[in-house]
């Protein structure tokens, strides 16, 4: 476990947290929350040993390894596969060692191969390929240099490399920021199966609810561990804050009564002793801080000035680049009542469709029509990055606000938390979250009748995400949304459009159905891979070419002898593979049953326990079969080498 003993930590002279006493155990999945500046990153640095404590100590087992997702990539000249593989330092060192055997004696080579077996080194490349596929990389990407990927995809590579680490502790800071929903769902499953300790900072509430069984909250110089997921934490904290507010109000009433008594009777000789007693009582009284509600964002989209229907139409559109269609046969009509969520994997064409809708990308064929009353409010990463770096929020708003008085502009910007000196600070000094808030403010001011939002929450914290969700729920115009934030899509969209396989079609169902659809598609792909014959991958050492001098007929006879002598082993392997497939399908069925929320209701407790027992039993059986299968394959390989 990781143990905090009476820990106090300062940063740049400011006390972040004090008197922290915690025990974090292997197997726990913990969401780390708190307002910006409360010390989340410093807590990570303290666990990593990169920031010392001012008081107390942080202890963890000396054998434990910690994997922390880097925010930058320096090894840009490595291939994507090699970069991810290098995250497994033990395997990387052994593989390089076995690939350069010239400097090793036989004993060293034997020891290296033995260690390679012990760490399951033959499966490491397959594990890396699985992680890359889960995070959205194609097989053709494996050999591409890291330098050829965009910033978002490099962050995915950083995450993949972190997941390859043989660590007991994972520290993840906003791991879902650059992932689409398919990759987020895969990551959730991966983390739930990880048997170590996970500490994660995320602004994705659905992700925290799925993955985390504890919440570690930093607030007012303290750190408190709550049991339950994020939604349960919010309810518990609200109840505690209400109690705290009542206690504060009672204390304030008592203090006022005591102070009034002291004022009235302090000068009277007959009451002086009692007054002094009240003064001491007042001094001893512990100060209860008033419940300071977090600085709430509150804004609303203005009523559009003009509306007509339809606002945008795509008729049999073919959309793509340089004459090559990415999407074909697209028919779409946006009316004032449209509340459209666009789903699909990264690279499927969601942003391409958006560009065609807003007129940024000419159609290859078909027709695009826009109403004369159309007034777009368009938010995407490119728009955010193109903000005038030298301009302040006040100046940017003034450019589109005509003769509106300054006090109204300042009040408007204040609703987006641009106050005081931040109003007159050039935007180049803003964080990603501040730039996103500023872009939203500029869009709101322009009173659009169609909002087109492409991943608007990437840089927003939970508080601002909630404010945006409430504002979108009350928006009276048309909405087109691309987002991996499931709560946002579920809350503001009435219909879903799935972009996949070169088409854009209505998706019948809700976000829960879409999650199931993605899981089934991923499982089908996995089953297809599992059906392929297992090939034991060797280390990267060069193997000598075969050349036994046999004639074609002699080789045929010898091969027949080899097949005959290895037949029992091959039959055993085939049987084991059949058992593995059968057990895997059974496990898949049980895990599907376990995903049903109703199973966790109190009346179903007995059935839940039975399902969990079945799940554990199947996992044990599968592990035993895989071990037996690996032994049989090793024996077959050895026998074929001896006979051949």
Give the pLDDT of residue 196. 93
DSSP letters, 111-180, are HHHHHHHHTTGGGHHHHHHHHHHHTT--GGGTTSBGGGS-HHHHHHHHHHHHHHS--SEEEEESTTTT--
**Cα dihedral 575, 580, 585, 589 sign:** positive
Confidence label for 494 from pLDDT (cuts 50, 70 and 90): confident
- Can you name the residues that pair with 9 across neighbouring β-strands? 17
Confidence label for 526 from pLDDT (cuts 50, 70 and 90): low
* Average confidence (pLDDT) over 42-54: 89
Q: Is pLDDT of 288 > 50? A: no
**Which of 371, 380, 372 is closest to 334 using CA atoms?**
371
* Average confidence (pLDDT) over 107-112: 82
How far apart CA 2 and CA 47 sit, in angstroms, is: 8
Give the pLDDT of residue 531. 62
**Which of 195, 202, 203, 206 is closest to 170 using CA atoms?**
195
Give the pLDDT of residue 541. 44
Name the residue with tokens 């709560």. Answer: 487
Give the pLDDT of residue 290. 47
Count each helix (H run) and each strand (E run) in the chain, helices first.
Answer: 20, 18
**Which of 350, 362, 357, 312 is closest to 334 using CA atoms?**
312
Give the pLDDT of residue 147. 86
How far apart CA 623 and CA 589 sit, in angstroms, is: 18
Confidence label for 641 from pLDDT (cuts 50, 70 and 90): low
* Average confidence (pLDDT) over 27-50: 88
Q: Is pLDDT of 293 > 50? A: no
Give the pLDDT of residue 276. 63
How far apart CA 442 and CA 448 sit, in angstroms, is: 11
SS3 state at 362: coil
Give the pLDDT of residue 549. 54
- Which ranges of 387-532 does DSSP label H, i.e. alpha helix? 393-398, 406-414, 432-445, 462-473, 486-492, 511-530
Q: Is pLDDT of 264 > 70? A: no
How far apart CA 373 and CA 305 sit, in angstroms, is: 9
Confidence label for 289 from pLDDT (cuts 50, 70 and 90): very low
Give the pLDDT of residue 539. 56
How far apart CA 203 and CA 465 sit, in angstroms, is: 8
Q: Are 534 and 633 in contact (CB under 8 A)?
A: yes
How far apart CA 433 and CA 457 sit, in angstroms, is: 9
Q: Are 352 and 327 in contact (CB under 8 A)?
A: yes
Strands 169-173 and 66-68: parallel
Q: Is pLDDT of 81 > 70? A: yes
**Which of 140, 126, 60 is closest to 91 using CA atoms?**
126
How does pLDDT run across 20-30, given as a tens digit for each residue? 999 999 999 99
Q: Is pLDDT of 542 > 70? A: no
Give the pLDDT of residue 394. 93
* Average confidence (pLDDT) over 355-375: 92
Q: Which two tokens mark 247?
A: 């206690």
How does pLDDT run across 580-589, given as a tens digit for each residue? 778 877 877 8
How does pLDDT run across 391-443, given as a tens digit for each residue? 999 999 999 988 899 999 998 998 888 888 889 999 888 877 888 889 999 99
Give the pLDDT of residue 560. 64
Give the pLDDT of residue 39. 85
Name the residue with tokens 């934490």. Answer: 233
How far apart CA 487 and CA 465 sit, in angstroms, is: 10
> What number of CA atoms fall less than 13 Å from residue 171's CA on the CB side?
18
- 160 vs 595, more confident: 160
Q: Which two tokens mark 69?
A: 């997702």
How does pLDDT run across 188-199, given as a tens digit for each residue? 999 999 999 999
* Average confidence (pLDDT) over 258-273: 63
Domain 312-508 of CATH type 3.40.50.300: yes
State which H helix or E strand residue 223 sits in. strand 222-227
Q: Which residues contact 72 (CB under 8 A, 6 or more apart)?
A: none
Q: Are 318 and 327 in contact (CB under 8 A)?
A: yes
Confidence label for 287 from pLDDT (cuts 50, 70 and 90): very low
State which H helix or E strand residue 452 sits in. strand 450-454
Give the pLDDT of residue 478. 93
How far apart CA 457 and CA 434 sit, in angstroms, is: 12
* Average confidence (pLDDT) over 250-270: 66
* Average confidence (pLDDT) over 621-639: 72
Q: Is pLDDT of 269 > 80? A: no
* Average confidence (pLDDT) over 75-83: 85
Q: Is pLDDT of 105 > 90? A: no
Average pLDDT, the chain: 82
- Ordered by start, the domain boundaries in the chain are 72-164, 235-284, 312-508, 516-539+548-643
How does pLDDT run across 215-226, given as a tens digit for each residue? 999 888 889 999
- 32 vs 634, more confident: 32
How far apart CA 155 and CA 149 sit, in angstroms, is: 10
Give the pLDDT of residue 446. 92
Q: Which residues contact 239 (CB under 8 A, 6 or more apart)?
A: none
């Amino acid at each position: 476990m990781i143990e905090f003993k009476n820990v106090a930590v300062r940063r740049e002279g400011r006390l972040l947290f004090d008197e922290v006493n915690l025990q974090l155990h292997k197997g726990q999945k913990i969401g780390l929350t708190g307002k910006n500046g409360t010390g989340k990153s410093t807590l990570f640095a303290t666990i990593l040993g990169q920031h010392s404590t001012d008081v107390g100590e942080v202890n963890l087992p000396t054998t434990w390894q910690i994997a922390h997702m880097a925010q930058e990539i320096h090894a840009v000249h490595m291939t994507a596969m090699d970069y991810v593989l290098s995250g497994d330092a033990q395997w990387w060192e052994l593989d390089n060692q076995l690939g350069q055997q010239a400097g090793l004696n036989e004993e060293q080579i034997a020891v290296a191969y033995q260690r390679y077996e012990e760490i399951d080194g033959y499966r490491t490349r397959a594990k890396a390929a699985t992680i890359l596929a889960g995070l959205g990389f194609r097989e053709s990407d494996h050999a591409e240099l890291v330098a050829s990927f965009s910033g978002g995809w490099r962050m995915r590579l950083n995450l993949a490399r972190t997941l390859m680490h043989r660590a007991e502790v994972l520290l993840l800071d906003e791991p879902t920021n650059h992932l689409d929903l398919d990759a987020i769902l895969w990551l959730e499953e991966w983390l739930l199966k990880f048997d170590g300790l996970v500490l994660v900072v995320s602004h994705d509430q659905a992700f925290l609810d799925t993955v985390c069984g504890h919440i570690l909250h930093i607030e007012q110089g303290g750190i408190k561990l709550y049991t339950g997921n994020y939604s349960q934490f919010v309810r518990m904290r609200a109840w505690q804050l209400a109690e705290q507010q009542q206690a504060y109000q009672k204390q304030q009433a008592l203090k006022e009564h005591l102070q009034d008594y002291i004022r009235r009777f302090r000068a009277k000789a007959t009451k002086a002793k009692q007054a002094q007693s009240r003064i001491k009582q007042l001094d001893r009284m512990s100060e209860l801080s008033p419940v300071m509600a977090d600085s709430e964002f509150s804004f609303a989209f203005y009523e559009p000035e003009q509306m007509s229907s339809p606002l945008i139409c795509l008729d049999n559109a073919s959309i793509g680049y340089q004459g090559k269609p990415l999407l074909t046969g697209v028919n779409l009509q946006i009316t004032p009542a449209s509340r459209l969520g666009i789903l699909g994997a990264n690279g499927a064409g969601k942003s391409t469709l958006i560009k065609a809708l807003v007129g940024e990308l000419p159609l290859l064929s078909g027709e695009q029509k826009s109403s004369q009353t159309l007034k777009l409010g368009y938010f995407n990463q490119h728009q955010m990055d193109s903000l005038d770096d030298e301009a302040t929020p006040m100046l940017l708003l003034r450019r589109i606000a005509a003769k509106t008085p300054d006090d109204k502009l300042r009040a408007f910007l204040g609703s987006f938390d641009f106050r005081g000196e931040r109003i007159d600070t050039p935007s180049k000094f803003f964080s990603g979250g501040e730039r996103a808030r500023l872009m939203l403010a500029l869009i709101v001011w322009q009173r659009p009748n169609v909002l087109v939002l492409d991943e608007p929450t990437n840089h927003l914290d939970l508080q601002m995400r909630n404010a945006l969700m409430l504002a979108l729920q009350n928006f009276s115009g048309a909405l087109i949304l691309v987002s991996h934030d499931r709560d946002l899509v579920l809350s503001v969209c009435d219909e879903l459009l799935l972009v996949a396989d070169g088409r854009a079609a209505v998706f019948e169902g809700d976000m829960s159905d879409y999650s199931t659809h993605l899981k089934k598609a991923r499982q089908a792909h996995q089953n297809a891979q599992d059906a392929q014959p297992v090939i034991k991958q060797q280390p990267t050492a060069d193997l000598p070419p075969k050349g036994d001098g046999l004639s074609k007929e002699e080789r045929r006879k010898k091969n027949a002898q080899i097949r005959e002598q290895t037949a029992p082993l091959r039959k055993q392997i085939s049987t084991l593979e059949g058992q593995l497939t059968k057990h895997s399908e059974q496990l898949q069925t049980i895990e599907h049953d376990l995903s049903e929320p109703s199973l966790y209701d109190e009346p179903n407790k007995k059935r839940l326990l039975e399902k969990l027992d079945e799940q554990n039993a199947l996992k044990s059986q599968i592990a035993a079969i895989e071990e037996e299968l690996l032994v049989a394959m090793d024996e077959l390989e050895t026998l074929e080498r001896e006979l051949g």
